[in-house]
């Protein structure tokens, strides 16, 4: 499984959990509260909706890095997630507009429920940060691999250039060796001719 696919599944899991948390606040917690507590819960729910928007944005980025066949399937999922989030936004708007308040007993029960949901929200934030860190780590690994590939290519080019210089040096040495052999043969020929001339001169002087 690719890194992009693993990250998409992680974001998908985070979105499902945070959407459940938002839905619970809208259907149970907010209707049971009033006054300042209600406002605090509404603001907390709005923050979770913003986080869900960010998760969808991250999911869309990861889908672009997948194979076309997988991308088509996941894009259909993305449309459903966006539709779910839009419905949650509308439901929150309706719930926050309702001013009917609960009894003191209901407020106490809702306070305990809100504490549990806030803990879930913190867990969602931690998961989102963890996914972002994994994405950043994957990017750093890709950059490091690219850097190593460039260095390897540079070293290869330098080795090829060094091999070229070695070949040139070998050809030069071979040429020099051939010239030295030719010069030795030429020198030997000249010496033989000179010896022959000297012998001829001595013969002429002695016998003529």
Query: What's CA 132's distance to the chain center, in Å?
Result: 12
Which listed CATH number (3.30.70.270, 1.10.10.10, 3.40.50.200, 1.20.58.400) goes with 3-157? Answer: 1.20.58.400
Q: Yes or no: say if 52 and 19 are a contact pair by the CB < 8 Å rule.
A: yes
pLDDT of residue 116: 57
Could you tell me if 101 and 34 are in contact, meaning their C-beta atoms sit under 8 angstroms apart? yes
The DSSP symbol for 32 reads: G
- Residues 144-151: contacts with CB within 8 Å, 24+ apart? none
Q: Which residue has the tokens 């990017």?
A: 139
The whole-angstrom separation of Cα 33 and Cα 39 is 9
Residues with Cβ within 8 Å of residue 95, at least 6 apart in sequence:
26, 27, 30, 31, 42
* Calpha distance 128→18 (Å, rounded): 10
The whole-angstrom separation of Cα 99 and Cα 138 is 48
Are 127 and 10 within 8 A, CB to CB? Answer: yes
Contacts of 52 (CB under 8 A, 6+ apart): 15, 18, 19, 22, 85, 88
Enumerate the domain spans of the chain: 3-157
Give, for all 208 residues of the chain, the pLDDT tens digit: 566 678 888 999 999 999 999 999 999 999 999 899 999 999 999 999 999 999 999 999 888 888 888 888 888 899 999 999 999 999 999 998 875 544 444 555 555 455 555 666 677 777 777 777 777 676 677 777 667 767 767 766 666 666 666 777 677 777 677 767 766 777 777 888 788 888 888 888 888 7
């Amino acid at each position: 499984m690719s890194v992009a696919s693993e990250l998409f599944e992680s974001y998908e899991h985070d979105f499902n959990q945070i959407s459940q948390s938002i839905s619970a606040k809208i259907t149970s917690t907010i209707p049971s509260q009033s006054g300042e507590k209600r406002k605090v819960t509404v603001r907390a729910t709005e923050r979770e909706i913003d986080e869900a928007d960010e998760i969808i944005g991250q999911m869309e980025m990861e889908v672009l890095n997948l194979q076309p066949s997988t991308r088509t399937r996941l894009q259909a999922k993305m449309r459903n997630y966006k539709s779910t989030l839009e419905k949650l936004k509308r439901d929150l708007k309706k719930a926050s507009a309702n001013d009917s308040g609960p009894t003191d007993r209901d407020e106490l029960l809702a306070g305990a429920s809100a504490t549990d949901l806030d803990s879930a929200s913190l867990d969602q934030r931690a998961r989102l940060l963890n996914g972002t860190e994994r994405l950043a780590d994957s990017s750093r690994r890709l950059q490091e691999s690219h850097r190593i590939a460039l260095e390897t290519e540079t070293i290869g080019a330098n080795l090829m250039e060094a091999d070229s210089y070695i070949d040139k040096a070998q050809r030069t040495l071979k040429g020099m060796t051939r010239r030295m052999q030719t010069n030795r043969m030429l020198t030997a020929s000249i010496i033989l001719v000179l010896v022959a001339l000297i012998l001829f001169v001595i013969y002429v002087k002695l016998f003529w």
